[in-house]
Amino acid sequence: GGGGGGRGGGMVRPRGGGGEASRGSRRGNRTITDLIVTRPQSLNSKKGTTGAPIALLANYFKILKKPEWNIYKYRVDLTPEVELLSHKKAIMRRQVAKLGSFQFDGTMIFSPYKYAADPLVLMDKDDKEEPIQITIRFVGDLLATDGQYTHLLNLIMRATIESLNMQRAYGPKGTKYFDAVQKIDINTQHLQIWPGFCTAIRQHERDIMICTELTHKVIRMENCYNVMQHYARDQEVVKKELIGKVVVTEYNNATYRIDDVDFSLTPSSSFAKKTGERITFLQYFRDRYNCTIRDTRQPLLVSRAKAKDVRAGRPEVLNLVPELCRLTGLTEEMRSNFRLMRDLAQHTRVKPDTRVKRFLELNRRIQNEDKAREVMKKWEMTLDKNLVELPARVLPAEVICFGNRHEEKPNNADWTGALTRNRLFETDKLTNWHCVCTNRDFGIVSKFISFLLNSARNSGLDMVDPRIIRIDNPRVQAYINAIEQACNDSTQIIMCVVPNQDANRYGAIKKRSCVERAVPTQVMLTKVMSNDKILKSVSAKIMVQMNCKLGNAPWTVKIPASGIMTVGFDVTYDVRDKRKSYGALVATMDLRQCNSYFSTVSQHSHGEEMSNFLVVNMMKALKQFQQIHHEPPKRIIFYRDGVGDGDLSHVMDFEVKKLANDLKALYGETAPKLTFIVVTKRINTRLFSKDMRGMVTNAPPGTVVDDVITLPERYDFFIVSQSTKEGTISPTCYNVVWDESGFSADKIQIWTYKMTHLYYNWSGNVKVPAVCQYAQKLAFLVGQFINQEPTHLMEKKLYFL
């Protein structure tokens, strides 16, 4: 973008109230792309009323701007045409003295100044001293309804934060900025943490605000050369270990993705500079960065630029020296290292009060450091110095219903204690089950089963001793043979005790039980059974899981309305074949009448339309509902997980409309009323409250936010459903994109919160409605381990817990 400079060259200072344009109108030769409006037209109010009022802080700063602050759009044409974006930007940077401050994206100028001449023609020279004509044509005011409006503000903020000497890195979740100066060394684990921020600006209910969240990059002390030395004899293994990894270069902290390893090149090889002169990599790094490369025979890494980076002037292929590249992120082995993850968590799980201090410190730097202040001043932008305050409500705690009609109100979204004191809400007789274990583990298993039977007695579950099948070794085939033996005995459930985590063995057990034999399995690790300190609590949890897999609910909540089917849907990829993915759907069968669930999975190939499978799965669930109740549901509340902002338009145009149309075609006037809600878990919003002493804490469970930081084009709300003892809690965002229910915003919020209490793998609230968590769990099991659709004979049970 453009830099600073004077305010001469035929400019007019902006005056307020630029011309209005309706959404979707055309300006110049381009159609303005709007925000995706998903707020139903019939909606009167998206605010609820139930709950105790509470004042919160959120990790947003308002962008304050002067009333006369307008931005104007101009199209730029260069004659003769210039191909490279970097060359275009260099030419336009030289025009700052004539044009004043502006941002340039390669085609358009965004400027706070109205130029007197239209078109405005300027002259410059290219790198060969040939004349270049610059023609600048006025396109129109940049309105808040333009998609480019927040894009421009984000560009300005990017320039501001980069002026604080932070390193920019792109990722799947947007732009992040890391502060290498503030790095934290964890010497015991040979790791380094770079703290940073991710930011995003957009129009919220009444104000344009910037959302600021903390992020961290984990850098390993080992470099790529160390990895190569470890696998030096096998080039294919070296490639497997390095391709796809992200590295940081030691000489300028730049981030690159490794696309290949070129064993034909070494640091002694030469390449052509822009001037045409050839130079070796050894000489280049010594001259440019004062880096001495020790091993002159190491192969070079290859990083290929994306198309947009090539247009911006980056070489299509970049060669990197392994010795100078440090790996980022964690390996699976690291993630399973308890001590390492604990040490990391001390720095990455930031408490609410510390988090707020860091937000305010970033704001202070933007306000006070000269370079950052200069960027903001050019654009006449200022940030509010304080985090935004907003009103919220805390919904009443739900009553948890156990067996014998006993009820308890949970403390802080956790009813583990109440679960151990009470009988389960529903139980069955478990009179025919098997346990498979090695001869070596027989003693440990026998002890655990006695604890398990005791937990069952206390909870009202009629469980007898299992028939134990002892195997000689822990090989896959030994477990498969034992499962076959147990299945021939009409078993209700099979427990498989395994000595260690082995994905192949686990997948084989689940494939045999979920695809070929239709019997629930409970897989357990020997080391969990052999830990006497946790034996009582583990046996209680396993007993609850086994009871659920038989089709029974351990607890429930009070359901105010009947005839409602609640649905969760999630999608995951097949780890073995990325061309395949699986859509998992889990539905309730009217929780007012019964606690049964229905689940189904469909496989689809890359490029196939997801909506077709979603509707087919939905029809299966409706058929099951009708078999139970002899009529369709009155309402369907559909929670769709796994939708990014970029997919929202597609979900609206295909999934939602097809589902609504097919329901009407199938049922006519008696069609269930559809409510379709997009659920987003991974968001940067954080909510804080203050306790009696003025200390910043997490917002309490049951907190609902439906104003200030919500979006005007959406029917959206945030709910904090769970609690945490460590770090800062993250709310979940719900976007109601279709609503025929006739329910008020209040009722939809309360229903959503109720549903977070019914995930039976955890005796507490979860982050999303239970049907979403079940769908995610089922999709993960199929995509990771089974790699094909489970048998339909398991559809009526939560076998995947």
- Catalytic residues, by residue number, are 570, 641
Are 602 and 583 a contacting pair, CB within 8 Å? yes
- CA 62 to chain CA centroid, nearest Å: 25
Question: What values do phi and psi take at 526, rounded to 5?
Answer: -60, -40
| Interatomic CA distance for residues 61 and 254, integer angstroms | 29
Alpha-carbon distances of 215 from 348, 358, 365, 383, 728, rounded to whole Å: 8, 11, 18, 21, 12
The answer to whether the beta carbons of residues 282 and 269 sit under 8 Å apart is no
* 318 Cβ contact partners less than 8 Å away, ≥ 6 residues apart: 256, 302, 303, 304, 305
> In Å, how far are 433, 491, 510, 586, 614 from 521, measured between CA atoms?
10, 10, 7, 19, 27
DSSP per-residue codes, 171-191: ETTEEEEE-GGG-EEEGGGTE
Q: What's at 101, amino acid-wise? A: S
Burial of residue 547 (number of CB atoms within 10 Å: 0-12, 13-18, 19+): buried
Token duo for residue 270: 């030469």
536: number of Cβ within 10 Å? 12
**Which CA distances in Å does 556 have to 421, 759, 774?**
16, 10, 16
Give yes or no for a contact between 474 and 497, defined as CB atoms under 8 angstroms apart.
Answer: no
Write the burial class of residue 307 (CB in 10 Å: 0-12 exposed, 13-18 middle, 19+ buried). exposed
Decide: helix, strand or coil at residue 474. coil
Q: 703 and 54 in contact (C-beta within 8 Å)?
A: yes
Give the separation between CA 463 and CA 571, rounded to whole angstroms: 36
